[in-house]
Structure formats: structure tokens, C-alpha cells
DNA sequence: ACCCCCCTATGGAGGGGGTAT
DNA sequence: CTATACCCCCTCCATAGGGGG
């Protein structure tokens, strides 16, 4: 650790990044908080810095922007951050101790070394980097060529980063700067970073783990690592470890600071200010802010692949500024990029959006906008045992029916390939955000047909997959596994609020950024159904994947088929109604048709609601119970007035609504109670949701969007839709919640303006929950989202929200099929389950 | 063609520590 | 507040299958 620290120090001093922000815009927004000036961060690594510096300004920004810091944000004012930090991460943040303070001048961001950073860093680091990453990285090579421009260049860097596990995290920075010490990286890397929160130091501690992991993997890892080492060596040995931090650091520094600085308010303001162009910046900025949360690291990408690559930093890097990237990010996501060698463009694109524009990962984005619709054609299985850094890979996430998840972008007629981003998000009721305890893990090998490359965004690993016109903008996701970070590592991060225990459900979140002629970027996002990642849960806990009914008259009596896993003969299905304060208002057990039930399906009779005279739909929950502590997540259900056909309401259920309609025929929308409090409900949300365009899109999108609204309602989509498990609910929830049901179906849009800011407030709670990441980010996020989401209504509206669309798409598959198959009798389509509202609650409930 | 070795992908399970009661 | 039982997290073991040398 010391070393790390030392290193950090070493580095820190010098580096200061100025976040320039090229974008004026950004600055504004951003930072408002921040201050106008640019923020200079001291980075630990010289290299990076240098590079950065070189890059300088604008360009840099962009890249930086990419980073969380969002240079953009910075722009105007600059904030220098000083980190006391000792550790690499700190570096970034604190890096130059001395300096930093000075810097502070403006704002003092002194980042607490700990917290802010950690959070951000933590997440990322650990996760991202984690040894695995390294591995993965290794794999990388194998796979693909690196087109990424930079990649080659990057490679060095990358490698460093990569090599160590941690490195990954650190990658960028680390590698560079420090030279990353090989050693560290290896060991600690991931955790370390995290653990360390303290950053580096800690790393040490953890480092191990990975290392410790030793096992075969270690071998592997080692192998990988070794490979990496080579690189790392280049970097400096010491550094590497730090790296993890580093990345984060860098980013962190940026981000964190930003975050800190930025208040939601500021963000909001910024957002307001932001513009398309800015978008990027803005995004960047926001990102940073967010960063705090998970992402901190801006875009830096870590992974390095062997070959290449690349590092990817993804976004950040613009191709243009290789230097920057390199230095800074090493990763330059660019490089990292894909393996897919052939299509250079692919990378290029990444670059495009990469830069600043990309919205923070915790922003809520619509799944469709204007003509574009990002859909998950094939959903992943509900269970996937994630692997620890100490284990070998447990393979790629698979689809229910075999094969792998499939994602497709509809409505895109251009000939230019795009980059699909994938990260692991939360699956609780709160807004969708990067999961603090899980990271996407790149899978490579013969069995993998889809090229990909890893990048880091504010401590969240993001897998970038090319979407090619020749493949109809469709990608088979056979290259994505899920890495579990140790709870202890993550929870130690400063700022982390979420707990890892029993927080084992995730969603695969896909994003696409489409540049518009106008210069704006339309960003779409789709989340998969929840995926249970724990070994135990997968083996023992009942899980409801789909339910044939979303609503039922208060008198009950209707048959509902539940599809899922781990059902037992003695499984009970309990309906419960809770007050907002959590008090149990009602609880009853449904009759289970044991004869018609199997381990993967339960046929039950919806129990009579406690009040037969309800005049409005009542939202309740139900869960399958196999025993004291073996309960499924809560599923949503709505009782409607007996005389009135109803439609679903819940926010989550938005998706469902359509289904509901179909079933009952009426299309009435319920009003659901939004799970999410009122906040969500706000109009803003609704409008915005759909469209959140990132950066710029906005205007454009809006237009498109707008129209849609009308369409939305109409569109069958609603009707059709099956439910989407998607995250959407969550996301939307905040954003959309109510909307869906309302006349305008899901139109939720992200709001911009005020709303945004407002939103933040809303989110906060939830977001925070997720973990540090979320927290920090949240604030930021909020701002962003608002901004981006310009258009409230989207064309999709019909589809409702993107989610809805997705859902629909999905639904059909699952729901319908399932229903039919399962029960002929069941008329309704099965909708997919939503997730429990909140994992946390669930857990709590469990206790009960 | 066969043998080894290396890897990846999985399944399973135990220990330790945290939680719940 | 303490003691005990239980549960979950994380690590480690073991095995199968494929590929390369």
C-alpha cells in the first residue's frame, strides 16, 4: 500500500488535469457547481497527465470529458482537486497533496480522500478491474484485433492496467503513470482499489484477494496478469496497483470532485444549460458527477486487452486525441475497443459518442426515440451464477431457451456501425444504475462469436459491442459474463451506501448512442429482466419469471400461472398489501393448484381482496415462499374494482399495462401508485423518460418524441406489451412511473430542466442506495437526465416507453409462450415479473 | 494419432463471519 | 446485551470438454 501511496504521491503532485472542458456549455452546466473554471485535477500519473495536458484543452476535454470529470463540466471554472490521497486514486483525487490544496482554491474539492473517491473508485476499481477483468482482458486479445486506433498505443497502457487486475481499473492512470507496478496490480488490483479505497493502500489488502484467489485462476489470472505485466512493467511497477485507483483516480479525481461539487442543484442548472453539443460535455460532466457514483471514472476504459488494446476508455477518448487518451486513459477506450478488427468504424463511433456526450451510466434513458428503438430480442436467463475474482469465469450469460441474449437496434438506417454498450445494472426498485457489486465481464474464446472490448466508465466496466448494419444492427451477447465483487470491498468504499448482502440481482443494461446529423446524439437504453446472480439463490430461492395476470377484480378467483424456478410442492404464494410506510395492511395466502404446479410453474387462484368495494385499482404484491427465508422477490399485482375492467397500474408495471389491457380488454389505465414516490410521478418524468437523449439529441429527439406521445397511447404497444421486466420500471419509475398508465402511456421523458433537478431529489434516495456509485452519481445524474431528456414524448410513446416496447417484444416471447404452453387455460399472456420493488425491502421482508 | 498440458466452464460444498432470534 | 442458530458470502475442490503442442 505504501508503495501505492507513495506512488500516488509521486504522481499526484504533478498532474493536474484541467478539465477544460472544452465545452463551454458543459462548464456551465456542470458546474455550475464547480465553478467555472476548469478543474484541474492532479493526477497521479504523470503520463496521463502529460498526455492530458497535451491534449489539453478541448480535445482533452473531450476525452477527459469522457471521463467523468467530464471535462465538460469543468470547463468553465476549473476546479482543482487535490487529493491528499495517497493512493493512486487519491492521486487523482488527492494526488498532489500540496498542490491540490492549492488548487482548491476555487472549490476546494478536496476530495476527501476517502469517500468520494472510494465510492467512485471503489466501484470501478474493484469491479472493473478486478482481476477478472484482467483476465478478460487477456482474453481480449485473443479475440480480437484491435482496431481501435489507439489500441496499439493503448495497449501499452492498457496492458499495464490490465495486467494487474487492478490494473484494469487503474488502467489508465495507473498504467501510465506509475508505470504501474506490476506487482500491485496483480494482486490487488481490483479489490485493492476498492478496498483500499483508501485506495491503494488498501489495495494491498485486498489485492490479495484476487491474488489470494490464487487458484487456478490465479494461474490464469497470473497468466493474464503476467501477460499484462509485461506491460505493466512498462508502467511502473508500483503504480499499477494503484492503478486501480488511478483510473478511478483520474477519473475519480475528476468525477469525484465534480460530484462533490456538483450538487444536484448545480447539476440541474448545468443541465439546463447544457446543450447538445454540450451534451457531451455535459454528459461528461454529469458523468463525473455521477461518477461519484460508480462511474466516476469517466470513461476510461480499462481493459486492456492483450493485444491490444485498448484500453478503451471509452468514451472519452476521442480518437483524435490519442495522446490524451493514452496518457490519460490509456485506455482510451478507443483502443480497447473491440476486437473486431475489421470495422474500424466501430471504434470510431465509440469515439463519437464516447466523448463527452455520453450520459452517465446512472442516467435514465429511454429505450426508443423517434425512429430508433433499442430492444432486447432475447432475454437472459433469470439465473446466472456470477464469478468472483478468485474464481474462473463462469461463462457468458445465457438465454432462457439456450443461446444468448440478443439485442437489436430498430429504425437505424445508416450504414455506419454503432457501438452497443453493456454494463451490469441494479434490479431493485430504484432507478436503474450501475450495480456496485457486480461488473460485466468480458468473455472470450472459441465459443464467443461477438467481438467486444471493455472500457471503464467511472468505475463501472462497460462492454462495448459493435452493432453492424450488415447484421441488422443486431448483436448476440455471448461475450458477457458477470463478475461479483466482494461485498466487503465495495462496502468499504466511502460513499457507498448500498449493502451487498442479499443484493444479488442485476440487470444487463444496453445502451446505444446515435449521432445525429445535427450533431446531437440520441442515447437509448434498455435493461434486461432481472438476473439472480448468487449460487444459493439460484439453487434454492423461488423465482417468479412471469405471471399470467397483472390484475384481477377484487373478488379474486381468477387463475394465475406463475412461471419461474425452484417452486416446490409446498410452495406458498402470499399476497400482501403494505402501506407506504411499510406496514402490513393485509396478507393472505393464495390457493395453489398442486396438481398443476411444477418446479417451474405454479397455478394459483388469486385470493379475494380484503375490500370488495374498491373504487380504484389497488396495488399489492405477492411472493412465492418455500420456507422461512426462502421467498421470491415480491411481484406486483393489482386489484381492480369488480365492475371495471382494469389495467395495470404500477409504475413498474407500466409495462404491464398493455398486457392488462389485452386481458381485460379494457384499456383502462390504472393509476398506479407509483412505487416510487411521488417524485417520480412528476410529469417531468413522464415526458422525459422516453427520450432522454443524451447530449444533444434533445431537440431533435424531442421533436420526434413529441409526436410519439400521441402515438404511444395508441400504439398497441401498450397493449401488447408484455411486461417488461426491464429495468425500465425502475428507471422509469422514477421518471415515468405514473405516466405509463396515464393516458399517455409511458411517455415518460426525461425532463429537462427544472425537472431534472427536481428529479435528483427524487432519485436520491434510491440512487444512493445503490451504492456509492449511485449516490454521487445520482445527483449528477439527475441533472443530466433532465437535460438530456428533452423530449418528453416520444414517438415510441405508443410503444410507450422504450421499455414498454422492449417489454412488449420480450413479453411476447415469454409471456405468451409461457402462458400458452403452460396453461392453455390461461388466457392472459404472462407478463414477466417485475422485480421486487426493492431488494432491500425484500430482504427486510424476508426477515419478516 | 495419442498424450499432456492448459483453459474454460460448471457444479458443489465447506468455513467463517455476519444476522436474526 | 448476550448466546445460539442460521444464513450468506466467498473460497476452494473437482470434473468435463476442447484445443494446442
**A513 and A561 inside one domain:** no
**A485 and A608 inside one domain:** no
Residue A587 pLDDT more than 50?
A: yes
Residues A719, A717: Cα–Cα separation, whole Å: 5
Residue A451 pLDDT more than 70?
A: yes
Separation of CA A847 and C1' C1 in angstroms? 21
**A517 and A576 inside one domain:** no
Q: Which residues contact A783 (CB under 8 A, 6 or more apart)?
A: A29, A262, A264, A266, A267, A268, A269, A270, A271, A286, A289, A756, A757, A760
- The Cβ-side half-sphere exposure at A183, using a 13 Å CA radius, reads 8
pLDDT tens per residue, range A369-398: 999 999 999 999 888 999 998 888 898 998
Nucleotide closest to A391 measured between CA and C1': C11
Separation of CA A214 and C1' C21 in angstroms? 26
Nucleotide closest to A502 measured between CA and C1': C8
Separation of CA A227 and C1' C21 in angstroms? 20
3-state secondary structure of A180: coil
Separation of CA A293 and C1' C21 in angstroms? 47
Separation of CA A216 and C1' B3 in angstroms? 22
Separation of CA A499 and C1' B21 in angstroms? 21
Name the residue closest to C13, CA to C1'.
A215
Residue A507 pLDDT more than 90?
A: yes
**A635 and A530 inside one domain:** no
Q: Give the per-residue pLDDT at A413.
A: 92
In a domain, A375, yes or no: yes
What is the DSSP-derived secondary structure letter of residue A619?
E
Separation of CA A141 and C1' C18 in angstroms? 19
User: Residues A298, A299, A300, A304: is their CA dihedral positive or negative?
Assistant: positive
CB A159 within 8 A of CB A227: yes
In a domain, A778, yes or no: no
Q: Which residues contact A282 (CB under 8 A, 6 or more apart)?
A: A23, A25, A26, A29, A30, A70, A72, A73, A270, A271, A273, A274, A275, A356, A357, A695, A784, A787, A788
Residues A578, A640: Cα–Cα separation, whole Å: 16
**A523 and A561 inside one domain:** no
In a domain, A775, yes or no: no
Burial class (CB in 10 A: 0-12, 13-18, 19+), A716: middle
Nucleotide closest to A537 measured between CA and C1': C8
Q: Which grid coordinates are listed for A510?
A: 444496453
Confidence of residue A357 (pLDDT cuts 50, 70, 90): low
**A523 and A562 inside one domain:** no
Q: Give the domain extent around A615.
A: 543-640
Confidence of residue A571 (pLDDT cuts 50, 70, 90): confident
Report, as an integer, the average pLDDT of A826-847.
38
Go through A439-458 and write b for each residue having 16 or more CB atoms within 10 A of its CB, e for each that does not: bbbbbbeeebebbbbbbbbb
Separation of CA A444 and C1' B8 in angstroms? 10
| DSSP character string of A466-491 | EE-GGGTTEEE--SEEEEEPPHHHHH
Q: Give the per-residue pLDDT at A644.
A: 54
Residues A250, A243: Cα–Cα separation, whole Å: 9
Q: Give the per-residue pLDDT at A430.
A: 84
Name the residue closest to C19, CA to C1'.
A446
**A515 and A457 inside one domain:** yes
Separation of CA A605 and C1' C13 in angstroms? 45
Q: Which grid coordinates are listed for A670?
A: 390504472
Separation of CA A698 and C1' B14 in angstroms? 55
Residue A547 pLDDT more than 50?
A: yes
Highest mean pLDDT among A306-310, A475-479, A650-654, A809-813: A475-479
Domain final residue, candidates A624, A640, A656? A640
- Domain count across chain A: 2
In a domain, A694, yes or no: no
**A396 and A429 inside one domain:** yes
SS3 for A634-681 is: CEEEEEECCCCCCCCCCCHHHHHHHHHHHHHCCCCCCCCCCCCCHHHH
Q: Give the per-residue pLDDT at A294.
A: 32
| DSSP character string of A9-39 | HHHHHH--EEE--S-SHHHHHHTTTT-SSEE
Q: Which of A170-174, A563-567, A744-748 bottoms out in mean pLDDT, i.e. has the lowest?
A: A744-748
Residue A713 pLDDT more than 90?
A: no
Q: Give the per-residue pLDDT at A509.
A: 95
Closest CA to A651 of A609, A623, A624, A679: A679
Residue A154 pLDDT more than 80?
A: no
Q: What are phi and psi of A828, to 5 degrees?
A: -70, 160
pTM for the full predicted model: 0.50
Residues facing strand B, Cβ within 7 A: A 135, 138-139, 216-217, 219-220, 223, 385, 387, 391-396, 398, 443, 445, 447-448, 481, 499, 501, 535, 539, 843, 847-848
Name the residue closest to C6, CA to C1'.
A629
3-state secondary structure of A327: helix
Q: Give the per-residue pLDDT at A797.
A: 31
CA A638 to chain centre: 29
CATH number at residue A594: 2.60.40.10
Separation of CA A539 and C1' B11 in angstroms? 11
Confidence of residue A582 (pLDDT cuts 50, 70, 90): low
Average pLDDT for chain A: 51
In a domain, A660, yes or no: no
Residue A479 pLDDT more than 60?
A: yes
Go through A235-247 and write b for each residue having 16 or more CB atoms within 10 A of its CB, e for each that does not: bbbbbbbbbbbbb
In a domain, A267, yes or no: no
Nucleotide closest to A221 measured between CA and C1': B7
Residue A236 pLDDT more than 70?
A: no
CATH number at residue A467: 2.60.40.340
Residues A136, A232: Cα–Cα separation, whole Å: 16
**A578 and A609 inside one domain:** yes
Residues facing strand C, Cβ within 7 A: A 209, 212-216, 388-392, 446, 484, 486-489, 500-504, 534-537, 540, 628-629, 846
Report, as an integer, the average pLDDT of A238-252.
30
**A511 and A551 inside one domain:** no
Residues A86, A1: Cα–Cα separation, whole Å: 9
Nucleotide closest to A846 measured between CA and C1': B20
In a domain, A227, yes or no: no
> Within 10 Å of residue A214's Cβ, how many Cβ atoms?
15
Helix (H) or strand (E) holding A440: strand A438-442
Domain final residue, candidates A488, A512, A536? A536
More confident residue, A52 or A516: A516
Helix (H) or strand (E) holding A150: helix A150-162
What is the rounded end-to-end Cα distance, in angstroms, of chain A? 43
pLDDT tens per residue, range A175-185: 333 333 333 33
Nucleotide closest to A481 measured between CA and C1': B9
User: Which residue's entry shows cell 441533472?
Assistant: A783
Greatest Cα pair distance, chain A, in angstroms, is: 74
User: Residues A431, A432, A434, A436: is their CA dihedral positive or negative?
Assistant: positive
Find and list the nucleotides of strand B having atoms within 7 Å of a protein beta carbon: 6-14, 18-21
**A493 and A402 inside one domain:** yes
Helix, strand, coil percentages, rounded to 5, for chain A: 45, 20, 40
More confident residue, A587 or A423: A423
Closest CA to A355 of A639, A575, A70: A70
Q: Give the per-residue pLDDT at A437.
A: 93
Q: What are phi and psi of A754, to 5 degrees?
A: -45, -45
**A463 and A447 inside one domain:** yes
In a domain, A189, yes or no: no
Highest mean pLDDT among A676-680, A729-733, A830-834: A830-834
Share of chain A above pLDDT 70, in %: 33
Helix (H) or strand (E) holding A596: strand A584-598
CB A258 within 8 A of CB A34: yes
Q: How many residues does chain A have?
A: 848
Domain final residue, candidates A536, A570, A594? A536
Find and list the nucleotides of strand C having atoms within 7 Å of a protein beta carbon: 6-14, 18-19
- The Cβ-side half-sphere exposure at A430, using a 13 Å CA radius, reads 31
Separation of CA A627 and C1' C5 in angstroms? 16
CA A412 to chain centre: 23
CA separation (Å) from A332 to A96, A105, A144, A441, A576?
23, 30, 16, 18, 50
Strand order in the sheet with A474-476: A368-369, A372-378, A406-410, A474-476
Residues A454, A134: Cα–Cα separation, whole Å: 10
Separation of CA A405 and C1' C16 in angstroms? 25
Amino acid at each position: 500500500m505504501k508503495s501505492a501511496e507513495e506512488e500516488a504521491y509521486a504522481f499526484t503532485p504533478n498532474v493536474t488535469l484541467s478539465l477544460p472542458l472544452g465545452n463551454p456549455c458543459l462548464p456551465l452546466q456542470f458546474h455550475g457547481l464547480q465553478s467555472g473554471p476548469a478543474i484541474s485535477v492532479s493526477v497521479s500519473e504523470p503520463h496521463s497527465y502529460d498526455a492530458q495536458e497535451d491534449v489539453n484543452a478541448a480535445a482533452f476535454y473531450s476525452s477527459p470529458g469522457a471521463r467523468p470529470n467530464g471535462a465538460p463540466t469543468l470547463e468553465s471554472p476549473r476546479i482543482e482537486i487535490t487529493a491528499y490521497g495517497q493512493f493512486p486514486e487519491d492521486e487523482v483525487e488527492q494526488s498532489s497533496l500540496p498542490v491540490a490544496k492549492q488548487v482548491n482554491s476555487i472549490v476546494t474539492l478536496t476530495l476527501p480522500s476517502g469517500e468520494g473517491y472510494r465510492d467512485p473508485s471503489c466501484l470501478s476499481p474493484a469491479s472493473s478491474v478486478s482481476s477478472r477483468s484482467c483476465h478478460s482482458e487477456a482474453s481480449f486479445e485473443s479475440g480480437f484485433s484491435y482496431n481501435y486506433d489507439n489500441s496499439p498505443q493503448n495497449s501499452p497502457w492498457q496492458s499495464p492496467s490490465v495486467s494487474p487486475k487492478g490494473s484494469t481499473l487503474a488502467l489508465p492512470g495507473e498504467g501510465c503513470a506509475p508505470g504501474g507496478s506490476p506487482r500491485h496490480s496483480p494482486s490487488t488490483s481490483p479489490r485493492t482499489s476498492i478496498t483500499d479505497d483508501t485506495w491503494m493502500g488498501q489495495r494491498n489488502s485486498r489485492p490479495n484477494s484476487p491474488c489470494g484467489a490464487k487458484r487456478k485462476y490465479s494461474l490464469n489470472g497470473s497468466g493474464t496478469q503476467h501477460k499484462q505485466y509485461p506491460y505493466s512493467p512498462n508502467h511502473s511497477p508500483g503504480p499499477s496497483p494503484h492503478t486501480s485507483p488511478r483510473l478511478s483516480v483520474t477519473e475519480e479525481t475528476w468525477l469525484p470532485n465534480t460530484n462533490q461539487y456538483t450538487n444536484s442543484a448545480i447539476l440541474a442548472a448545468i443541465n439546463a444549460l447544457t446543450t447538445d453539443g454540450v451534451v457531451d460535455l455535459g454528459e461528461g460532466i454529469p458523468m463525473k458527477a455521477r461518477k461519484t457514483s460508480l462511474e466516476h471514472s469517466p470513461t476510461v476504459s480499462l481493459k486492456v486487452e492483450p493485444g491490444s488494446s485498448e484500453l478503451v476508455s471509452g468514451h472519452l477518448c476521442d480518437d483524435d486525441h490519442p495522446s490524451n487518451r493514452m496518457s490519460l486513459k490509456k485506455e482510451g477506450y478507443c483502443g480497447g475497443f473491440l476486437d473486431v478488427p475489421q470495422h474500424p468504424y466501430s471504434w470510431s463511433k465509440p469515439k463519437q459518442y464516447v466523448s463527452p456526450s455520453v450520459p452517465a451510466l446512472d442516467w435514465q434513458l429511454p429505450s426508443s426515440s423517434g425512429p430508433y428503438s433499442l430492444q432486447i430480442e432475447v432475454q437472459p436467463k433469470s439465473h446466472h451464477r456470477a464469478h468472483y475474482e478468485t474464481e474462473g469465469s463462469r461463462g457468458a450469460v445465457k438465454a432462457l431457451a439456450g443461446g444468448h441474449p440478443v439485442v437489436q437496434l430498430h429504425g437505424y438506417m445508416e450504414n455506419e456501425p454503432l457501438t452497443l454498450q453493456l454494463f451490469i445494472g441494479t434490479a431493485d426498485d430504484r432507478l436503474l444504475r450501475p450495480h456496485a457489486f457486480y461488473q460485466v465481464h468480458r468473455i472470450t474464446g472459441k465459443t464467443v462469436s461477438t467481438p467486444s472490448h471493455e472500457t471503464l466508465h467511472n468505475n463501472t466496466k462497460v462492454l462495448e459491442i459493435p452493432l453492424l448494419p450488415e447484421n441488422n444492427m443486431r448483436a448476440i451477447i455471448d461475450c458477457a459474463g458477470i463478475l461479483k465483487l466482494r461485498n466487503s470491498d465495495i462496502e468499504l468504499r466511502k460513499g457507498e451506501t448500498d449493502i451487498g448482502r442479499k443484493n444479488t440481482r442485476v440487470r444487463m443494461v444496453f445502451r446505444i448512442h446515435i449521432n445525429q446529423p445535427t450533431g446531437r446524439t440520441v442515447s437509448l437504453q434498455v435493461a434486461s429482466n432481472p438476473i439472480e446472480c448468487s449460487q444459493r439463490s439460484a439453487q434454492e430461492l423461488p423465482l417468479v419469471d412471469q405471471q399470467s395476470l397483472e390484475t384481477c377484480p377484487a373478488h379474486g378467483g381468477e387463475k394465475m400461472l406463475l412461471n419461474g424456478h425452484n417452486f416446490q410442492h409446498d410452495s406458498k404464494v402470499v399476497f400482501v398489501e403494505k402501506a407506504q410506510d411499510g406496514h402490513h395492511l393485509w396478507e393472505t395466502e393464495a390457493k395453489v393448484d398442486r396438481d398443476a404446479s411444477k418446479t417451474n410453474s405454479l397455478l394459483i387462484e388469486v385470493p379475494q381482496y380484503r375490500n370488495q368495494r374498491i373504487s380504484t385499482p389497488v396495488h399489492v404484491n405477492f411472493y412465492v415462499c418455500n420456507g422461512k427465508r426462502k421467498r421470491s422477490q415480491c411481484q406486483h399485482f393489482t386489484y381492480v374494482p369488480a365492475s371495471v375492467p382494469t389495467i395495470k397500474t404500477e409504475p413498474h408495471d407500466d409495462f404491464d399495462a398493455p398486457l392488462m389491457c389485452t386481458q381485460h380488454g379494457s384499456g383502462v389505465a390504472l393509476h398506479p401508485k407509483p412505487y416510487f414516490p411521488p417524485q417520480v410521478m412528476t410529469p417531468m418524468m413522464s415526458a422525459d423518460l422516453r427520450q432522454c437523449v443524451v447530449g444533444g439529441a434533445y431537440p431533435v429527439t424531442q421533436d420526434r418524441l413529441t409526436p410519439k406521445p400521441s402515438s404511444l397511447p395508441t400504439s398497441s404497444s401498450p397493449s401488447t406489451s408484455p411486461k417488461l421486466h426491464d429495468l425500465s420500471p425502475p428507471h422509469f419509475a422514477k421518471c415515468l412511473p405514473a405516466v405509463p398508465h396515464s393516458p399517455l402511456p409511458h411517455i415518460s421523458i426525461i425532463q429537462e430542466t427544472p425537472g431534472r433537478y427536481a428529479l435528483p431529489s427524487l432519485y436520491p434516495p434510491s440512487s444512493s442506495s445503490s451504492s456509492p456509485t449511485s449516490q454521487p452519481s445520482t445527483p449528477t445524474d439527475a441533472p443530466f437526465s433532465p437535460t438530456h431528456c428533452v423530449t418528453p414524448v416520444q414517438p415510441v410513446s405508443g410503444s410507450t416507453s422504450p421499455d414498454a416496447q422492449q417489454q412488449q417484444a420480450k413479453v411476447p416471447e415469454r409471456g405468451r409462450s409461457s402462458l400458452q404452453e403452460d396453461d392453455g387455460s390461461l388466457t392472459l399472456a404472462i407478463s414477466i415479473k417485475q422485480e421486487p420493488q426493492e431488494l432491500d425491502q425484500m430482504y427486510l421482508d424476508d426477515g419478516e
